[in-house]
Structure formats: structure tokens, C-alpha cells
Amino acid sequence: MSRAWTSIPNTWPTARPEEERPAELPRRLVDRFGREVHNLRISVTDRCNFRCIYCMPERVQFLPREEVLTFEEIVRVVRIVQPLGIRKLRLTGGEPLVRREIEKLVAQLSAIPGIEDLAMTTNGIFLKELAQPLKKAGLTRLNVSLDSLDRETFAQLTRRDALEQVLEGIEAALEAGFVPLKVNVVAMKGITERELLDFARLAREKPLIVRFIEFMPLDGEGIWSMDRVLSREEILRRIDAVYPLEPVDERGAEPAERFRFRDGRGEIGVIASVTHPFCHACDRIRLTAEGKLRTCLFSLKETDLRALLRGGADDETIAETILQAVWNKEPGHAINRPEFVKPERNMFQIGG
Ligand code: SAM
Ligand code: SF4
């Protein structure tokens, strides 16, 4: 087995008391560990037409509409953070495509100078209608979530019988020019093993990069346990045994490790947030649908930007607040350590 397949112990710290940001620092989004933030993930809604078991409970109370940031408020935040170093945006949710006229937000964000990359993560169900308008509005990249190629397993995981529509959505996205398209698969033990080779074949046969995401403790019904995480090790071992893989050496701040098939037919990715945390290279922050700034997926503390946006704060005050929050960005999460505390929010309330 290749060296790249083996575990690296996570020695990166997971907590440190908050500090005041030194006033003399340049106005860039940088934290105490020297990490620069370039990437903002924006949740445009907490609503969703699926109920994936790893993300939300079956019965769920969504935010009242007036609590969700308007397009104008989202655009204002982006205009404030762009000069501080943000150049990449990802729209997510909940399901971003259930937000009405989302293509209008895409058009407004893609027109902001300095935004080099505007991506979206979606369950894909509305892509048949929306892939073309999104492309036209300036969306640069799309990730579609697809956890199973089997209709029954798909329905069991998403609690919706919608595999066919998602597959059509993927075809529509490819036709609209989102090539290569990334497909996200949450890797759950007892479920995903059965289909690892089917997904590998998909990545070999279509212009799709299939990325396996280790199941994280952000589900709505407390089903997560370490035993239910299908690990990076096992994913790679099983696929490599049939379709030999080799690592691709360009990762940077990307959470996915890339592996290509040795015969040159496509690639896969693994996001090993649980077994191989990449916190030391994290360059992202998140804005929730109701305007809370989160500096880590697993943050226990949030900064209320909506209160500032709606309370008459000027851009300078908002910028200072964000600079200070980023300075105290958590060193990392502690998922596989005893001190781990699960955030109160589930994935759909954060924006994955
Ligand atoms: N609704 C869209 C979708 O499903 O693609 C966007 C929002 S969803 C929260 C973003 C990503 O987070 C999806 O790829 C989803 O599979 C992933 N995700 C959700 N819950 C997760 C969990 N507990 N562990 C790992 N990934 C998760
Ligand atoms: Fe909805 Fe995406 Fe969460 Fe599934 S993962 S319930 S599609 S937000």
C-alpha cells in the first residue's frame, strides 16, 4: 500500500482562548495561526426538499422568512469582505435551488470585482431547469450531492424517491458546461461500501469527479458515531484493489485529497474531515442563512452580522467585526478526540 494511504496523527491544537486582534495588522482576513481566509461559504436558505439522514431530522422547523438574509444583505457582506481577501464564494444551504430567483443572486455576486470563483453545492433536483440559467448568470462551478446509485438506498438516505431527477439534473449540468462536475458522496459505513466500485466506474466513464466525504457529526438525530464513518483508508483500499489509484499532488487549501486512476481514466477525491483533519490549511469561513458568521464548521461561537446589517452599522464596523472574528478562528475541530463538543446546529443550519 502506498505511503499516501496511511494515517497521519492529528497534532494540530483544537482550542485557544480568544484574543484582541493587534491593531497594527494589515486589513486582511488572517488568524492567529497564520492562516489566510479567501473562501466564504454562504448559506442562502436552511430550507430543503430532501431530508438526508446525515444532515437533518425528519421533522424540522425552518427559519421564518424574515430572519433569512435578503440578497441585498448577502451582496453587502460580500462587498465588505472581498477587499479583505475573499476571492472564492460557494452558495449552499439547506438547498440553494429552493431559494426563489437564486440566479439573480448569482448574477449580482459574479459581477463583484475580485470574486474569481463562484460555486454552488446542490442536491441537483432542480438542475434540469436551472443549470443553464445558473451558467448564464455567472456560476463557475457546481457540486452535486449523490449518495447512492440505487433507487431504494437513495430514498432511504434522502427520505425522497428522487434518484431519477438528480441523475437528470447531473446530465443537464454537464450539458450546460459545468465540466468536470463534482459529485459529493457522504461515506457511511454499512451503506457506501456496497457502491464504492459503482461510483469509481461513474468517475471513470463520465466527466465527473466523485468525492467521498467522511460522515461528520452534524446530523439531526444523533445517528453519528465513529463506527458509522467509512474512512478514507477503507475507501481508497477498496477502490485501489480493483482500479489502481495514485495521488495527485496539488491540494493547497482544498479539503479534498485527489487520486487519479493509474490508467488515466478520471479521478476521485476524498474529504477525510474525521480521520485526517485538514484544519491547519483551512481558508474558509461561513455565513449562515440568518446572517451568523461561523469561522469553523464546528464553531461553538458565532458572530451576528445580521444584527449589524439591520441595526444601521456602517461597512467599516462590519469589516472590523469580521476581522476580529477571523483572528480568533478556531485552530481546529476535535472530532476524534475526547474534548469534542458537537455544535447545536445541524449541517443544514450551517451550510455544508
Ligand atoms: N443541499 C445541498 C446538497 O445537499 O448538496 C447543499 C447543502 S448540504 C448541507 C452540503 C454538503 O454537505 C452536501 O454534499 C452533503 O452531502 C454534505 N453533508 C451534509 N451532512 C453531512 C454530514 N453529516 N457529514 C458529511 N457531509 C455532510
Ligand atoms: Fe438537504 Fe443537502 Fe441536507 Fe440533504 S444534505 S437534507 S439535500 S441540505
Q: What is the pLDDT of residues 278-291, one digit of tens each?
A: 888 999 999 999 99
Q: Specify the amino acid at residue 8.
A: I
CATH code of 39-350, in short, is 3.20.20.70
Cα(239)–Cα(261) distance, rounded to whole angstroms? 10
Can you give the pLDDT at residue 13? 67
Residues in the ligand 1 pocket, defined by CB under 6 Å: 48, 54-55, 92-93, 95, 121-123, 145, 184, 186, 213, 215-216, 218-219, 347-348, 352
Looking at every residue in the chain, the average pLDDT score rounds to: 93
Cα(230)–Cα(218) distance, rounded to whole angstroms? 15
Q: In what order do the strands lie in the sheet with 292-294?
A: 245-248, 257-261, 267-271, 208-214, 181-187, 141-145, 117-122, 88-92, 39-43, 284-287, 292-294, 303-304
CA-nearest residue, atom 7 of ligand 1: 93
For ligand 1, what atom is nearest to the CA of residue 215?
24
* Mutate-to-test residue for ligand 2 from 121, 348, 350, highest number of ligand atoms within 8 A of CB: 348
Domain boundaries in the chain? Answer: 39-350
* Mutate-to-test residue for ligand 1 from 122, 125, 185, 186, highest number of ligand atoms within 8 A of CB: 186
Q: What is the pLDDT of residues 138-170, one digit of tens each?
A: 999 999 999 999 999 999 999 999 999 999 999
Q: What is the DSSP letter of 290?
A: T
Distance 142 CA to ligand 2 centre (A): 15
Task: Dig out the grid coordinates for 292 from the structure.
Answer: 451568523
Ligand number with the minimum distance to the CA of 184: 1
CA-nearest residue, atom 8 of ligand 2: 94
Cα(342)–Cα(32) distance, rounded to whole angstroms? 23
Q: What is the pLDDT of residues 162-186, one digit of tens each?
A: 999 999 999 999 999 999 999 999 9
* Report field, pTM of the whole predicted structure over 0.75: yes
Residues in the ligand 2 pocket, defined by CB under 6 Å: 48, 50-52, 55-56, 93-95, 123, 145, 158, 347-348
Indicate whether 114 pLDDT > 50.
yes
Task: Give Cβ neighbours of residue 266 (< 8 Å, ≥ 6 apart).
Answer: 203, 204, 205, 208, 209, 260
Ligand number with the minimum distance to the CA of 230: 1
